[in-house]
A and B are shown apart, each in its own frame.
Chain A
């Protein structure tokens, strides 16, 4: 097991946002986490990345407990995140953003190779490399956020709503690229509200409701599940 979350509880002050989450992610998988607004998806990813400390429970990466390590240590171990809302560094250039993604790496030759790979995945980033990141379009910023995370050459890539606010055609392009990234050997944890697109891409999925996992299954089974269809796929056309 590459990544395991066991009985994870996270609190904001006195309010508990996660009430005991269990997740498993195998090497090479694409796992999606679905759920309505406020279900706790972002909180889960932040806890995995070390931005939030669990109140209880364990997170293990390659069998090593990581929930007590500071966020910056996890990047070098192989966990990178493209966070919700992209959070690119707007007043830095595209190239500087990408370089920061490789901040923990010292193997300059391989870093240059990763950069070429990312320019190949997202050619628009190569064209705009000297431009300030804040001047990119929303879709380009999302590509930059993903590219920046990939610059760490992670074992597992955490993505928080990469389709947010993007036109359906662009969502399709980005999800196609996510598939390519996974083919290249990167395990992906994908948080999405666009359940249909996410389930079509993923191998397995979890459904969260108010701080709990309520469903867990293979992606095709979730797509066929009447409850999921009603709650998350009803009339949804994006990503088709």
Chain B
């Protein structure tokens, strides 16, 4: 977390530093929220089709962060291609690789248990999570790994008079762009309709000639691709990564998915952005020490007040 939460606040008679502080927190919250939303989409899509929480999803996010680091340093993409093109290629590579990991996870950990009791799949998910985390630790070690800061732009952008770090702006734009693209894909294409149909009724979807196994595979490509790029974003934004980071981010993104209504794709987007903003503002104006607890307070409140989530009218018939 950047230290903006404790930046000095000017005397009250000039309102603009207060407004400025608020807007900084808001944009920071949107960036973090965009990251949560990208991860949350993976939880919610898999849940939508399989009624299963992919507990290893947070670890795929971590793989995105580490793969991003390794590719960034070993291929020197930004040196060779320039910053913009280099990062674009990096994003595509990370998405592709983590998507493949997701597909392998589905094949190895979930498909063999498709007809088994739900609990077997949950145990398998937890096992996969531990396996993925420990593999990463054995390869990279348990310490924090640092993204090279000489590669990352430290520039700030003037957005309507507000000076915002370039990386923050890029993250907000990229995450919102990907969400819009995913939304259009799900809502407007034939394959998107097949995914929605399979989420409602797999048997009926098969009677339409939809190969549900391929829908499931697709969901395990898309979700991890977005989760992986979210990991890369965290690396680029905060500059350091750790092999257990998927746990905290995973829990928060899961909270975001519940907040929006699990199984609901626009819900995951709204839930992620909202949680990011609530957390950033809460950390700034309530207590920085409670930052990580805020998500869980939100989760508990949602479960009490509106268990179906904000957009989740359909959840009742799904559980």
Contacts and interface: CB of A to CB of B under 8 A. Distances in A.
Do A and B pair up? The answer is yes
Interface of A: 49-51, 70-76, 80-81, 83, 87-92, 96, 99-101, 103-104, 148-149, 152
Nearest to B214: A72
A51 B205 CA distance: 11
Contact of A92 (B190, B197, B210): B197
Interface string B188-218: 0010011011001101111111111000000
A15 to B, nearest CB: 16
A89 B314 CA distance: 12
Given A51-B203, A89-B201, 10 more contacts: A50-B206, A72-B209, A83-B203, A89-B196, A89-B204, A99-B193, A100-B208, A103-B190, A103-B194, A103-B209
Contacts, number: 65
Contacts of B194: 100, 103
Contacts of A87: 201, 203-204, 207
A136 to B, nearest CB: 15
Interface in B80-108: none
B46 to A, nearest CB: 18
Nearest to A97: B197
Contacts of A149: 207
A231 to B, nearest CB: 30
A72 B210 contact: yes
A110 to B, nearest CB: 16
A91 B200 contact: yes
Contacts of B200: 89-92
A103 B192 CA distance: 12
B196 A81 contact: no
A157 B209 CA distance: 14
A91 B190 CA distance: 16
A51 B302 CA distance: 38
Contacts of A99: 190, 193
Nearest to A148: B208
A149 B205 CA distance: 11
18 contacts: A50-B206, A51-B203, A51-B206, A72-B209, A72-B210, A75-B207, A76-B209, A87-B204, A89-B204, A91-B196, A92-B193, A99-B190, A100-B194, A100-B208, A103-B194, A103-B208, A104-B208, A148-B208
Contact of B209 (A51, A75, A88): A75
Contact of B208 (A50, A73, A90, A101): A101
A152 B209 contact: yes
A83 B207 contact: yes
Nearest to A51: B203
A80 B197 contact: no
> Which among A49, A70, A100 has the greatest number of chain B C-beta atoms within 10 A?
A100
A99 B188 CA distance: 12
Contacts of B314: 91
B211 A70 contact: yes
B132 to A, nearest CB: 31
Interface in B27-84: none
